[in-house]
Chain A
Amino acid sequence: MSDHHPTGITRWLYTTNHKDIGSMYLWFSFIMFLVGGAMAMVIRAELYQPGLQFVEPNFFNQMTTMHGLIMVFGAVMPSMVGLANWLIPMMIGAPDMALPRMNNWSFWILPFAFTLLLLSFTMEGGAPNFGWTFYAPLSTTYGPASTDFFILGVHMMGISSIMGAINVIVTVFNMRAPGMTLMKMPLFVWTWLITAFLLIMVMPVLAGTVTMMLTDRHFGTSFFDAAGGGDPVMFQHIFWFFGHPEVYIMILPAFGVVSEIIPAFSRKKLFGYSSMVYATASIALLSFIVWAHHMFTVGMPLAGELFFMIATMLIAVPTGVKVFNWVATMWQGSLTFETPMLFSIAFVILFTIGGFSGVMLAMAPVDFQYHDTYFVVAHFHYVLFPGAIFGTTAAVYYWLPKWTGKMYNEKVGKIHFWLSMIFVNLTFFPMHFSGLAGMPRRIPDYNMMFADFNMWASIGAFGLGLTQIFFLVTIVMAIRGGKKSEEKQWDGATGLEWDALPSPAPYHTFSTPPKVD
């Protein structure tokens, strides 16, 4: 009775069920991940050796732009919303998300937004080619006709994200089971709650940015055009006021994921729960006052540079607390290394490496040398791929037995991990070197002195790309023919979803709230 669900296409079109919507988010983000990944393959193929072999520079710019947009807005963000949908109600003992119909809408906007964005490839002049940061005036006065599709697409994604964030906040504040006080919530719920506030704060800023672009392009305003009294640097300030919190939007939920997984496989409680919560909140607050560290070369006054440098370096403190707490959680635990744990450990190590290069980039006088080189590319891929994406991957392996009632093949999962681990480093580590040696970002061709590292990065990227298809096969195999999983698949797991629900979790959970003590 409780497991009755509608069937056919309408199940998915009309669904208000958090699990169905969560699954759709996750599958959508995986498709986008492959699409954005295919673009990365084009980029790496062109950069495999010096000279232009495959694509024209203008098309190359379309590839870098769309790769960034699709990965940020289409792959990473929806995957986090998918996890939130699946997990938050189960973790806080709620029957569903608080606003289920809006939940449906916020998902179904996305396929349309991305179809619109991808359609721009078919337009005369091609897709947006001004980088995912779409700096004016390259994107306004000089942007291709498809820029307007891009603007509308971004508006739609923004609406979707804001609705998703409202839903999370309302759910967490109103639907917790009796006894589930805020400071008893699993850390994943906490990180998502904070992420949701970030989204509500900054997505409207992004919407404002693209609206100003639209009026600059078509309605005679000059927000970003110096010739009309505007300021192209103002674009960057507004964009990065959105953009810096955005990077924490992409990483905070992954912090939450590993904060669930590491204790489970250490068979030990998370070390410093409350300091984890406070550290997450501090990172979120600081993220609003550091945006101009992306702009140290625009010619800011010295006082501004000093402020943004010091504020940015401060972020290392709460981030350090998180890393130390994860290490302390493992310390004297009783560790085993199943696939989700392997991905979580790799997350901690490689994200920390990304954090190190982050501190380096924060130091303005040396940032002048790093800025807009491959060093930056290495840095943000280290926090995004082995950061956000490994986090999501760990989550999928960890909760798949609960979601589907099926167990993945541990051996195959470990192969997936090791291949990802080797190739992610082979792809992105050499980029540190080519950046330090002086290779700028977003160039389709380069001097011979950068050739070796580019070749290795390309080989790594092809391997990394193929590995993700392997991931797909692993998951499909598990869902189709995996062994039946147990109610509590991981002996160290804690939380309502493991203790109070069977595997697979029924279609409607917690029609009567569980008791939390």
Chain B
Amino acid sequence: MAIRRKLIAGIASLLSVMLSGVVQATSELNMRPGVTETSIEAYNLHMMVIWVMVGISVVVFGAMFYSFIFHRKSKHPTPATFSHSTMVEAIWTAIPILILIFLTIPAVSLLIKMEDASKPEMSIQVTGSQWKWHYKYLEDDIEFFSNLSTPREQYEDYNSDAKARGENYLLEVDNELIIPINTKVRFLVTADDVIHSWWVPDLAVKKDAIPGFINETWTNVPTPGTYRGQCTELCGKDHGFMPVVVKAVSKADYAKWVADKNAERVAAEKAAAAAAAASWDMDKLMVLGKKTYDEKCASCHKVDGSGIAGAFPALKGSAVATGPIVEHMNIVVNGKQGTSMAAYSKQLTDAEMAAVITYERNAWGNSTGDTVQPADIQAFKAGKQ
């Protein structure tokens, strides 16, 4: 008896905790209606089909439970003998068909609307690669990478020492995709390596990014705001770590952002050129190198350069990191085809590449003593080395 009482008490407390969990999480129980016309329509369709399903379950499960109660052997000792009825069977074939037609009509019209990417006012090329997004504004000549900005110390918790996490944990990026409101924006979605999928729930936009093919989708956001999503197609190790963040701003703010971005680019190009022209000493290279390495390289090659055997090569004591510098530059600048090693010349400045190569050749007991200057990278890219 005592055991039974304990069991009941346990189940009761479990249920109460569960209930409080549900109450706490009410906002995340259901699909979000989102902000665009199509996302709201998708939400309405979703709710409609849920209620239809609830209706069907009330009837079907109701009949079952009626049987459980009133047709159990103790109450209904002599079973009926009927075993078919053409009429009844015809009816319950016909009714589902009618329900399906009822559901299909709004679904078809919404689908046609969602797939109509014609007459866009601007276009953005979205390119997935392991494990970041690249955005290119076709009209405004802006392009940038968008990386997860949640620091590693927040998600790596193997020693129970993770740092406190913010509200947008794993859903925050360094460079958000900025789009103007009330504008039909077309996204041309593709990928560099494996298949990714670009999803923003609040916009009801999800499209696979497929290497070698360009998919088309669109949105038109009526309200300013920041909308967060994630990659939804398994794309390798850090599939869970490549969020999508879209920030919709007023048209005026967008124009200002475009102008700022272009000015910023000119300044950055100048700074990069200056950095490349300078001669860097070992200490300075190692500092920038470590910073760059920890941000861009450590997720695969690990902070201590040990890699993951068979998947991501170790750099500590590796042939590339301790062998000829040209080989080392080649793999950083041009990447390695058919592996997750991307061509970093698209993402890093010459100074950063020089620093990271220097760092890899002199960290974790790799003591080549080599320094690589930004000028060396420039020369390599120009094909002089």
Chain A residues proximal to chain B, CB less than 8 Å:
50-54, 56-58, 61, 123-126, 129-131, 135, 137-138, 141-142, 144-145, 225-227, 231-233, 266-275, 297-299, 302, 305-306, 309-310, 313-314, 316-317, 320-321, 323-325, 327-328, 330-337, 345, 348-349, 352-353, 356, 359-360, 363-366, 368-369, 371-373, 433-434, 436-438, 440-450, 452-453, 455-456
Contacts and interface: CB of A to CB of B under 8 A. Distances in A.
Contact of A349 (B61, B92, B241): B61
B385 interface: no
Contacts of B320: none
A372 B233 contact: yes
Interface string B54-80: 001100110110011001110011111
A418 to B, nearest CB: 11
A363 B310 contact: no
B208 A299 contact: yes
A332 B80 contact: yes
Given A368-B204, A445-B170, A456-B18, A137 B31 contact: no
A56 B49 contact: no
Contacts of B234: 61, 130-131, 135, 138, 441-442
A348 B64 contact: yes
A333 B107 CA distance: 40
18 contacts: A135-B194, A142-B339, A225-B212, A232-B210, A232-B212, A268-B79, A320-B93, A321-B89, A327-B63, A330-B71, A334-B73, A335-B71, A363-B104, A366-B42, A369-B31, A371-B206, A443-B230, A445-B170
Contacts, number: 315
Contact of B232 (A345, A359, A372, A433): A372
Given A333-B80, A365-B107, A452 B310 contact: no
Interface stretch (B95-103, B259-267, B366-374): B95-103
Contact of A314 (B100, B338, B340): B100
Contacts of A131: 234
Given A313-B103, A364-B111, A440-B230, A58 B308 contact: yes
Interface of B: 18, 21-22, 24-25, 27-32, 38-39, 41-42, 45-46, 49-50, 53, 56-57, 60-61, 63-64, 67-68, 71-73, 76-85, 88-89, 92-93, 96-97, 100, 103-104, 107-108, 110-112, 114-115, 154-158, 160, 162, 165, 167-171, 189, 193-195, 197, 199, 201, 204-208, 210-213, 215-216, 229-241, 308-311, 338-340
Contacts of A436: 29-31
Contacts of B195: 135, 137-138, 232
B274 to A, nearest CB: 38
A360 B67 contact: no
Contacts of A313: 100, 103-104
A214 to B, nearest CB: 16
Contacts of A310: 104
B83 A269 contact: yes
B67 A327 contact: yes
A268 B83 CA distance: 8
A442 B27 CA distance: 23
A335 B68 contact: yes
B110 A365 contact: yes
B97 to A, nearest CB: 6
B326 to A, nearest CB: 26
B324 to A, nearest CB: 25
Nearest to A267: B79
Given A138-B236, A434-B28, 17 more contacts: A58-B237, A129-B236, A299-B189, A299-B208, A299-B216, A305-B111, A309-B111, A321-B89, A328-B88, A330-B64, A331-B63, A359-B53, A369-B206, A372-B199, A372-B232, A440-B231, A452-B22
A444 B78 contact: no
